Amino acid sequence: MDFEKYIDSFHGTKVLVIGDIMLDRFEYGKVERISPEAPVPVFRFKREKQMLGGAGNVVANLVALGCHTVFTGIIGDDINGEILSSMLRKTGAHSHLLKLKNYPTIIKTRYIANNNHLLRADQEEPMPFDEALLPRFRSILEKAISMADIVLVSDYNKGLVNPSVCPMVIEICRGAGKKVIVDPKGSDYTKYSGATLVKPNLKEFSEATGRKYDPESPDFRKDIISGAVKLFDKYGIENIIVTLSEHGMMFIPADNPDNAIQIPTAAREVFDVSGAGDTSLATLGAALGAGIPEADAVRLANAASGIVVAKLGTATVTAEELKKSLAEESHRAKTSVMEPAFPAKNIMPERKIVTLKEAEKIVSRIRGEKQRRIIGFTNGCFDCCHLGHLSSFIKAREACDVLFVAVNSDNSVRRHKGPSRPLQDEKTRSLLLASLEYIDYVIIFDEDTPLGIVEALRPDIVAKEGYTLDKWPEGRLAESYGGRALTLPRVEGYSTTGMLERINR
Q: What is the phi/psi pair of residue 374, to 5°?
A: -85, 130
> Which residues 6+ apart lie within 8 Å of 43 measured at CB?
27, 29, 30, 31, 111, 113, 118
> What is the structure's pLDDT at 444?
94
Q: What is the phi/psi pair of residue 38, to 5°?
A: -160, 160
Write out the CATH class of domain 3-19+55-102+134-337.
alpha beta
Closest to 377 measured CA to CA, from 364, 359, 361, 365:
359
> Are the C-beta atoms of 264 and 244 separated by less than 8 Å?
no
Fold (topology level) of 350-504? Rossmann fold (3.40.50)
pLDDT tens, the chain, 505 aa long? 577 888 889 998 999 999 999 999 999 998 888 999 998 899 999 999 899 999 999 999 999 999 999 999 989 899 999 999 999 999 999 999 988 888 889 999 999 887 678 899 999 887 767 788 889 889 999 999 999 999 999 999 998 999 999 999 999 999 999 999 999 999 999 999 999 999 999 999 999 999 999 988 889 999 999 999 999 999 999 999 999 877 888 999 999 999 898 887 654 444 444 557 888 999 999 999 999 988 889 888 888 887 876 555 556 788 888 888 787 766 555 544 433 333 333 446 777 899 999 999 899 888 877 667 899 999 988 887 777 788 889 889 888 989 999 999 989 988 888 887 888 888 888 988 988 888 999 999 999 899 999 999 999 999 988 777 888 899 999 988 888 998 887 765 555 555 556 666 6
**Per-residue pLDDT tens over the stretch 55-98:** 999 999 999 999 999 999 989 899 999 999 999 999 999 999 98
> What is the structure's pLDDT at 183?
95
Residue ranges of alpha helices (H) inside 65-201 are 79-91, 134-146, 165-176
Domains 3-19+55-102+134-337 and 350-504 share a fold: no
> Are the C-beta atoms of 477 and 460 separated by less than 8 Å?
no
Q: What is the phi/psi pair of residue 54, to 5°?
A: 60, -135
Domain ranges of the chain: 3-19+55-102+134-337, 350-504
> Which residues 6+ apart lie within 8 Å of 312 measured at CB?
112, 115, 271, 272, 368, 369, 370
Half-sphere exposure of 3 (CA within 13 A, CB side): 24
How far is it between the farthest Cα atoms of the chain? Answer: 90
**Per-residue pLDDT tens over the stretch 152-180:** 999 999 989 999 999 999 999 999 999 99
> What is the structure's pLDDT at 344?
38
Strand partners, 325: none
Distance of alpha carbon 380 from alpha carbon 422, whole angstroms = 12
- Quickly count: other Cβ atoms within 10 Å of residue 19's Cβ: 28
DSSP label of 219: T
202-209 helix and 220-235 helix, angle to the nearest 10 degrees:
60
> What is the structure's pLDDT at 345?
39
Output the CA angle 9-10-14, nearest 5 degrees: 120
Strand partners, 95: 71
Closest to 19 measured CA to CA, from 76, 91, 72:
72
Kind of pairing, strands 41-54 and 21-34? antiparallel
Strand partners, 82: none
> Which residues 6+ apart lie within 8 Å of 138 measured at CB?
168, 172
> What is the structure's pLDDT at 505?
64
Strand arrangement, sheet containing 484-488: 441-445, 402-408, 375-380, 461-465, 484-488
Strand partners, 353: 442
Of 155, 278, 383, 460, which one is the catalytic site residue?
Answer: 278
Please say if 278 is a catalytic residue. Answer: yes
Cα–Cα separations (whole angstroms), residue 3 to 45, 164, 251, 327 = 43, 39, 19, 8
Cα–Cα separations (whole angstroms), residue 56 to 13, 16, 196 = 18, 12, 22
